[in-house]
Amino acid sequence: MGFTWLEDGRELAPEELPLQAAAAAGREVRNKQLQVRFPDGKLLDVFGHAVPLFDASGAVRGAVAALLDITALKQTEAELKQARAEAKAYADNMAAIFDAMPAAAFFSHDRQCGRVTSNRAAYELLRMPYGSNLSKSVPAEEQPNFRIFENSRELRAEELPLQQAALTGQQVRDKELEIRFEDGSSIFEFGHAVPLFDEEGRVRGAIGAFLDITDRKVIEERLRTATDRFRVALRGTPITVFNQDADLRYRWVHNPGGEHHTMRIIGKRDRELLERQQDWERTESIKNQVLSTGVSYQGEMTVSMRGELRTYHVKLDPQRDPQGSIIGLTGATYDLTDIRRAQAEHEKISRQRQLALDAARMAWWHYDDATQVCTWDESFKEILGVTTNSLPRDEILGRVHPEDLARMAAEFVSGFDEINSQPHFGEYRIIWPDGSERWVEVYATAEFRTQGETRLFAGCAGTVRDATERKATELALRESEARHRELAANLDLEVHARTQELQKRNKALAHTAEQVRMLTARLLELQDDERRHIARELHDSSGQILTAIGLDLANLAQQVQDERIRQAVPDSVHRVEEIQKLVQMLHKELRTTSYLLHPPLLDEAGLSSAISWYVQGLAERSGMEIKFDLSENFGRLARQLELVVFRVVQESLTNILRHSESERALIRILRDGDTIRMLIEDYGKGISAEKLAAVQSGESGFGIRAMRERLRPFAGELQIASDGSGTQVLVTIPRRQNPESEARAPLEAAH
């Protein structure tokens, strides 16, 4: 015959063929799949049956067989099997990618979220066995043993991001959750959840991705605790600590003194706070010198507060960014007004004491050693409390305080030596007739007489004055001076100790804040790199595989149009078309996900094409009217700077879509000399005054903080204005002269 029959690769003998077997055995041979091999090696697949033929007596008289060429069908089945294998490999690759991601990814397999699984990172994070059901929508006894909180409130199952996305069909973004375990420990997660749709646009489940921000929360809590301790340490002291930017506008103030409160100081300069022009001119001149030279300043300043002059000890230090550039200054002031007043009072008392001494009454007296009688004037009587103008020496000495008598005698003898006589001055106590004590100052000079060549003591003369008041004043002054010295010493020590402590804490706070900024910048950089990597892998690898599957399915669709195949397998055409739709849907979803992660147009064509594509896609998905205006001849920027501009636009539009309820939005980007200016505006309900104040003071959500951190390495400034008619996001980025420095800035900030 020129051809042979095969079954499962084995050549059949003639008697094994269906027709011969049916005739020989007298029974049907059904569902035989055979191959016919021709001399040229070509193979033909056939399917058929054979039945015996009987004569009138029931004897087998032959057989009849029916065969169907199923070669094309077998080929289709092989191609479908290969397509399934490739699809499974793709699914396995996607699962491996998600398992390799550092973020926790969650998958809901149904809209009710009855079964939720995740990648390995999530199972490890939640301390659950790999592959177990993580759903909180199942009965309580089947739920995992952790609880989920938002703002310290435990969430019900239907409030969880995955369940909300599956239930509403809307994205749930920027969720910050706390997960508490049975042992009392907690972790913090931040992420989003998006719904998944079937080919008819119905929600079939949801997927969520969350980053572990526990370390960031711990750092924030430590920073908050350190700040609270810092404020408590300053409370009740006359020390004020503050920070000003390069424009000398106050950015924060702790323990402000005087008439101004913290909120009245923030954002203002000294010229807006101090009453006298001469005060703020001198103050700003000193601060500008610190900014320009980088040399710290320490000294005293006197300024007018509510018409009263107050004196401060001021310490100013330059504040530098990670690159060493001066970006502001940090200062501490200590109110010396009360100390200076005490010193002035002390000086006043000293002057009064001197005037009292000058105006004190002075008395004259004389002692005659020959008669041992002392005589004096009228003033002497008032000072010593006597009634006569003379008394014997012993009686006068009897009025001297016993404790001072021996000292006075010794001083007189030593001073009135015949050879080396010197004027005498002494202070002694005397006893008045009423028993009271008085202090007197005695001034005396010796008188000598000559006997031959010998000088002999003849007596002495001098003055005396009442020193009681002066002694009392001096005693009070000494006590006051001792107290003042002790106070000054203690204040100096306290100022020095607290200044050192403040400097140490300032340094620790600056270091902690810098670490937070470095970590945030590094996380953002890693996030962008991971987005770019995943997007490239999805687009280059997975996209090519889907394209190949689509081409194979297109060829298969043409082949199943064969009439014989359509008759043999009636539903093959419909099944192939369904598979083609699924592949097209998957390709579209994969491409959208890839572009949202990192639009390749950004690297290839620049901001204009990338933002235009993103705006068009968002407008189609949300129904919002978005106008995009980019100045002519805008040109290209450094890759990192273009990415920052794109992310700011992306985050701003996301906030508009999520919060503003606006039907229109405007994006305008232009170059003004060496400066890049951006305006993103909506016409929605705006931001409440309380929330706007929190945003402007830096207490904003993760999205706005992320925008600020992205702009920081480029010295970019972000401002948000809002009222009942909408919200404006204004971004200013000074254009650097060296494009390479722009490209390096985020990396240097991260390290």
Residues in the chain: 751
pLDDT at 744: 41
Cα–Cα distances in angstroms (integers) from residue 298 to residues 243, 315, 326, 331, in the given order = 16, 4, 18, 10
Dist. CA 110–CA 501, nearest whole Å: 59
How many angstroms from the chain centroid is the CA of residue 623? 35
CATH of 361-466, one of 3.40.50.10490, 3.30.450.20, 3.40.50.300, 3.40.718.10: 3.30.450.20
Supply angle C-alpha 260, 266, 268, rounded to 5: 85
Determine whether 237 is exposed, middle or buried from the number of CB atoms within 10 Å of its CB (0-12, 13-18, 19+): middle
Q: 3-state class of 65 per DSSP? A: strand
The domain defined by 222-335 folds into: Beta-Lactamase (3.30.450)
The domain defined by 103-212 folds into: Beta-Lactamase (3.30.450)
Q: What is the CATH number of domain 4-69?
A: 3.30.450.20
- Token pair for residue 83? 């397509």
Q: Which of 344, 299, 310, 311 is nearest to 484 (CA)?
A: 344
Q: Give yes or no for a contact between 107 and 119, defined as CB atoms under 8 angstroms apart.
A: no
pLDDT at 249: 93
pLDDT at 480: 78
DSSP code for 400: B
Q: Give yes or no for a contact between 310 and 339, defined as CB atoms under 8 angstroms apart.
A: no
Please state the pTM of the whole predicted model.
0.32
Dist. CA 652–CA 649, nearest whole Å: 5
Rg value, the chain, Cα: 50
Virtual CA dihedral for 172, 175, 181, 184, nearest 10 degrees?
Answer: -160
Give domain 599-751's CATH architecture. Answer: 2-Layer Sandwich (3.30)
- Ramachandran category for residue 584: left, alpha or beta (phi over 0 → left; psi -120 to 50 → alpha): alpha
pLDDT at 357: 44
Virtual CA dihedral for 418, 419, 424, 430, nearest 10 degrees?
Answer: -40
**Residue 124, C-beta contacts closer than 8 angstroms, at least 6 positions apart:** none
- Token pair for residue 114? 């009855």
pLDDT at 318: 94
Strand partners, 675: 672, 734
- Token pair for residue 615? 């705006």
> DSSP secondary structure string, 712-724?
GGGT-EEEEEEET
Which regions of the chain carry the CATH code 3.30.450.20?
4-69, 103-212, 222-335, 361-466
Q: Give yes or no for a contact between 331 and 315, defined as CB atoms under 8 angstroms apart.
A: yes
Block means of pLDDT (10 residues each) for the chain, length 751 residues?
82 85 86 86 87 87 85 82 75 62 81 88 87 89 90 91 92 92 90 90 90 84 72 68 92 77 86 91 94 93 87 92 91 86 79 54 82 86 85 87 87 77 85 87 85 80 81 80 78 75 74 63 62 60 65 69 65 70 68 64 78 85 89 83 86 87 91 87 88 75 78 88 89 67 40 33
Max CA pair span of the chain: 199
